[in-house]
Amino acid sequence: MNTHHYDYDLIIIGGGLVGMALAQALRGSGVSVLLLEARGLPEKTEDSRPLALSHGSRVILERLGVWKALPEVTPITTIHISNRGGFGRTVLKAAEIGVPALGYVLNHHDVFRSMHEAIKSCGVDYLVGAQVTRLETGVGTGQIEFLHNGIPKNATARLLVLADGGRLTAQIEGITQHVQDYEQWAVVARVKSEYFPDNALAGSGKPAMTKGRSPARSASMPGSTGTKSKRVHDRYGVAYERFTQDGPVALLPSGEYFALVWTVSSSAAQEILSLDDMAFLARLHEHFGDRLGKFVEAGKRSGFPIALKYATPVTACRVALIGNAAQTLHPVAGQGFNLGLRDAWELADEIIVSPAEIGNSAMLVRYGLRRRVDSGVGRIFTDSLVRLFSNDDLMLASMRGVGLSALDCLPPAKRFVARRMMFGARG
Ligand SMILES: Cc1cc2nc3c(=O)[nH]c(=O)nc-3n(C[C@H](O)[C@H](O)[C@H](O)COP(=O)(O)OP(=O)(O)OC[C@H]3O[C@@H](n4cnc5c(N)ncnc54)[C@H](O)[C@@H]3O)c2cc1C
């Protein structure tokens, strides 16, 4: 007979970034929380993907007490969006919008480790190596079965929160998961371009990628005179989003490097991942064009298959979905974690405001309504970008060019787009 049984207000299934964010947001609330993560030693996980976070996400991470512990953060001061092989481009600048940064580039594993450390002291029961195998819900409670280091256990709670990336959604009655494979992969790596050489930052006495260093400060660094250095300063903090007929390529500023997110077709992914460094850099240069000169250095490469997945609705009896379990998006617009953080934050808010209602249908309806517009707009915006910009239809190509040029000439429209990128659908 199974003697391991636990009872909580809330069980969070999945200790990825979003599940941990929810647990953190509930610290000190008096709500009892069990957080279960399937991976055995999650802190050892190396995840090379970069994360572009909005200003709104920074505010949430500060409130969660995680932001300060992040070792490497690069502010995005400019976003340069262009269309390879066509006219039209637009440039969004933080100064024009009146904010210090349009967003920030971080490393997924740095955020993960900071949260993992914070979670250990936030009063949550946090089990790693704990894989949920089955869940069931009734009117008053949800029940789960899980294997913790191979030992079967079960637990009950007033609310089960799925933060598992969508792996268990099929077990929940009343929720449909929509999946659309883009037949694309994202290849990620750190690369360096010839216009951003090491020696441009020489004399700073610290690693180039230091949290919060402003572009203005880098402009006054020793070694920053002359034509080449001027080009470096022009590029510090600039994110490049370039649309090509095979899909978008993003180069996000990451200290003196760029964090590359290169969308390639599924059929080309393995070949590109297995190229040697020189061939990879040459291929990237050929694909991206000459805007940043040649690429001269590449770090470890990883590949992620890309699909659009989303659940409707995001709640069921005694169940709420957050993060990738609610919506998994193409990384082109860097929206996934930003949205997931807002899911976690707003669900925590509902729980804290009315703890007596945890998991009841009124609370779940409110959570679903609060997330509907933000999630829907993020999904439609991201999916439209992929469809509009990842094809070679001539008509669409000229519409793209006109759209980008028009946006560039309309400051109010630029501010509108930038605010949505920084704070979500409600701006
Ligand atoms: C290449 C790439 C670039 C990206 N760039 C950006 C960006 O710039 N900005 C941005 O906002 N977003 C970005 N994203 C999206 C972002 O990475 C995700 O949205 C975010 O990491 C989702 O976190 P999550 O916790 O919801 O899900 P996941 O990371 O999928 O975590 C789910 C967790 O649940 C655990 N789990 C699964 N099943 C079980 C089970 N049965 N029992 C217990 N635990 C379980 C898993 O082990 C995992 O730890 C990018 C994604 C990719 C692929």
Question: How does 197-217 read in b/e, with b if 16+ C-beta sit within 10 Å?
Answer: beebbeebeeebbbeebebee
What letter would DSSP give residue 391? S
Q: Calculate helix-pair angle for 336-353, 17-25, nearest 10 degrees.
A: 30
The residues, any chain, with a CB within 8 Å of residue 168's CB and separated by 6 or more, are 13, 132, 135, 162, 325
Q: pLDDT at position 214, please?
A: 37
Q: How far is the CA of 419 from the centre of ligand 1 (A)?
A: 24
The distance from CA 405 to its chain's CA centroid, rounded to whole angstroms, is 28
Cα separations in angstroms, 200 against 234, 236, 255: 12, 11, 11
Q: How far is the CA of 116 from the centre of ligand 1 (A)?
A: 14
Find the residues whose C-beta lies inside 6 A of ligand 1. 13-19, 36-39, 49-52, 131-132, 163-165, 167-168, 186, 188, 261, 304, 323-324, 331, 334-338, 340
Architecture of domain 5-47+108-180+307-423 in this structure: 3-Layer(bba) Sandwich (3.50)
- Tokens describing residue 7: 């009872």
Per DSSP, the residues of 184-200 read EEEEEEEEEETTS-GGG
Per DSSP, the residues of 338-354 read HHHHHHHHHHHHHHHH-
* Total residue length of the chain: 427
- Over residues 357-380, the mean pLDDT reads 96
Q: How many helices (H) and strands (E) does the chain have?
A: 12, 20
User: 185-201, pLDDT tens digit by residue?
Assistant: 999 999 999 876 443 44
User: 77-111, pLDDT tens digit by residue?
Assistant: 998 888 876 667 788 888 887 888 989 999 999 99
- 251/187 Cα distance (integer angstroms): 12
> Counting atoms of ligand 1 from 1, which one is nearest the CA of 21?
25
Mutate-to-test residue for ligand 1 from 11, 12, 18, highest number of ligand atoms within 8 A of CB: 18
- 396/403 Cα distance (integer angstroms): 10
- Residue 163 pLDDT > 50, yes or no? yes
- What global pTM score does this model have? 0.88
Q: pLDDT at position 43, please?
A: 73
Domain coordinates in residue numbering, the chain:
5-47+108-180+307-423
